[in-house]
C-alpha cells in the first residue's frame, strides 16, 4: 500500500508567519495556484481515495486537485492540524516554536495539544488506514504539522529531534510505502 501526502496551499497566515492550527483559514490566490499546479502533477498518478482534513484550506486544496477526477473524498478529523491552543494566531517568533515541536522535550500546555498525544493520533490514523484500505493508493491532504508525524511514522524520529526540518512546503507532495 502506498500513500501520497500533500500539505494544503498557501494562506495569508502562512505569509504572515502566524500559527494557524485549527483556525479555519481559506487559501489565498497563491494557494489556489499551488493546488492547481499540484493537481496537474498528480493527474497521471493512480489515486483510489482522498482522505482530507475538514479544515477549509485542506478541503479547497483537495477539491482543486480532484477537479475533473471524481475521486471519493473522505474528511477525517484524525488529519486535522495540531491544536495550537494558546499559540493560535500568533507569530511563530513570539514563542518557543522549536520547543513546541520537540518530541524529547514533550512539553505540556494549558490548551495546546501535547506533541506525543498528537503523534499518537496520527500514528493511530496511519495504522487504521493501513488495515482498512490495504490495496488502495491514497492521497492525504492535510497540514504542515501532520506531515511531521507522518514522516516519523515511516522513517523514525530523527536523533537530533529537529522535527521542523520535516515539515512539507505548501502543496509539496511526498510518497510513502507501507512495509508488510
Catalytic residue positions?
8, 81
Burial class (CB in 10 A: 0-12, 13-18, 19+), 104: exposed
Helix (H, G, I), strand (E, B) or coil at 22: coil
Q: Which residue has the cell 481559506?
A: 26
Contact 2, 169 (CB under 8 A): no
Residues in Cβ contact with 118 at an 8 Å cutoff, skipping those fewer than 6 apart:
82, 145, 149
Rounded CA separation 163/161 (Å)? 6
Instruction: Outline where 27-157 has alpha helix (H).
Output: 29-42, 56-65, 97-100, 115-132, 144-155
* Element (DSSP H or E) covering residue 4: strand 2-7
Amino acid at each position: 500500500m502506498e500513500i501520497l501526502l500533500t500539505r494544503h496551499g498557501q494562506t495569508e497566515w502562512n505569509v504572515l508567519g502566524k500559527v494557524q492550527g485549527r483556525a479555519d483559514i481559506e487559501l489565498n490566490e497563491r494557494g489556489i495556484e499551488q493546488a492547481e499546479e499540484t493537481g496537474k502533477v498528480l493527474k497521471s498518478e493512480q489515486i483510489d481515495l482522498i482522505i482530507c482534513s475538514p479544515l477549509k484550506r485542506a478541503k479547497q486544496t483537495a477539491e482543486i486537485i480532484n477537479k475533473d477526477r471524481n475521486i471519493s473524498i473522505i474528511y477525517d478529523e484524525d488529519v486535522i492540524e495540531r491544536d495550537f491552543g494558546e499559540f493560535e494566531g500568533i507569530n511563530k517568533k513570539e514563542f518557543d516554536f522549536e520547543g513546541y515541536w520537540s518530541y524529547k522535550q514533550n512539553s505540556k500546555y494549558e490548551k495546546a495539544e501535547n506533541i506525543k498525544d498528537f503523534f499518537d493520533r496520527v500514528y493511530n490514523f496511519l495504522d487504521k488506514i493501513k488495515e482498512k484500505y490495504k490495496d488502495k493508493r491514497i492521497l492525504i491532504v492535510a497540514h504542515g504539522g501532520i506531515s511531521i508525524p507522518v514522516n516519523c511514522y515511516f522513517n523514525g524520529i530523527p536523533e537530533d529531534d529537529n522535527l521542523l526540518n520535516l515539515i512539507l512546503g505548501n502543496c509539496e507532495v511526498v510518497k510513502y510505502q507501507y512495509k508488510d
